[in-house]
Amino acid sequence: MFPPWQGFSISSRAQPSRDAPGASPYPSQIPGGRVIQCVAYAKTASNVHLHGNARDWWRNAAGIYARGAAPEAGAVLNFRPIRRMPLGHVAVVRQLVNDRTIIIDQSHWGQRGVARNTRVIDVSPNNDWSAVRVAINGHPESFGSIYPTYGFIYERPDQGMMLAHEDSSSAARKSAVAPRISSLRNTEVAQVPETAFSVDGPEHRLQ
């Protein structure tokens, strides 16, 4: 299996254009047959455009894009670097299922090319999405190891406030469109899914 840690960026000249005639808005390869990396894909599939490796996006987003612990459709989920994923990883949120489950699109995670409609579950104790598990390619009910994350980078300007996680009453409304939340509030923690720790052990070796 191809290692799921290819979080480096490529030259902007090599990135496919979203406006190119007949081009797919979410390509899996770039001209010349090279596989699109997660950073290049996230730039193409979202409105979050940052420089640097995936591990640098959280820091580089400060002062440019809003960030927080609440998933939103269209936001970028930013994974922290670990020993087996030293360059980090980024993925684009497509849908919110519930307080503990989202659907993402991503590239170069365990396979060459883009993986769409991939389930991710939050296994953090405080339901803040700081630790997640990603569905194994081709096995939507099975999940891989625990990966630490920075949080979510949103498609709107940074206004100097971090967005906290909201309750489940608004989760369904967010699944279709990216919301614009104006207030911050902490609420009760959703229960970790029973299957959250059924496959692999955690990976805590941060760089």
CA distance 163 to 153: 10
pLDDT band for 34, please (50, 70, 90 cuts): low
Average pLDDT (77-103) is: 97
Q: What percent of the chain has pLDDT over 70?
A: 62
**pLDDT at position 123 over 90:** yes
**pLDDT at position 32 over 60:** no
Query: What confidence score (pLDDT) does residue 55 get?
Result: 97
**pLDDT at position 191 over 80:** no
pLDDT band for 57, please (50, 70, 90 cuts): very high
Q: Name beta bridge partners: 98.
A: 101
Average pLDDT (191-196) is: 46
**pLDDT at position 41 over 50:** yes
Mean pLDDT (the chain, rounded)? 74
Average pLDDT (143-148) is: 96
Q: What is the pLDDT of residues 85-97, one digit of tens each?
A: 999 999 999 999 9
HSE, side-chain direction, 13 A CA sphere, residue 96: 27
CA 33 to chain centre: 25
Query: What confidence score (pLDDT) does residue 110 get?
Result: 80
| Residue, of 172 and 154, whose pLDDT is higher | 154
The contacts found for 161-165 with CB under 8 angstroms, 24 or more apart, are 161/66, 162/67, 162/68, 162/69, 163/66, 163/67, 163/68, 163/69, 163/70, 164/68, 164/69, 164/70, 164/128, 165/69, 165/70, 165/99, 165/127, 165/128, 165/129
Q: Are 83 and 202 in contact (CB under 8 A)?
A: no
**pLDDT at position 115 over 60:** yes
pTM recorded for the entire structure: 0.68
Q: Are 145 and 203 in contact (CB under 8 A)?
A: yes
CA distance 130 to 4: 18
Other beta carbons within 10 Å of 77:
24
Query: What confidence score (pLDDT) does residue 22 get?
Result: 32
The contacts found for 159-164 with CB under 8 angstroms, 24 or more apart, are 159/66, 161/66, 162/67, 162/68, 162/69, 163/66, 163/67, 163/68, 163/69, 163/70, 164/68, 164/69, 164/70, 164/128
Other beta carbons within 10 Å of 123:
21
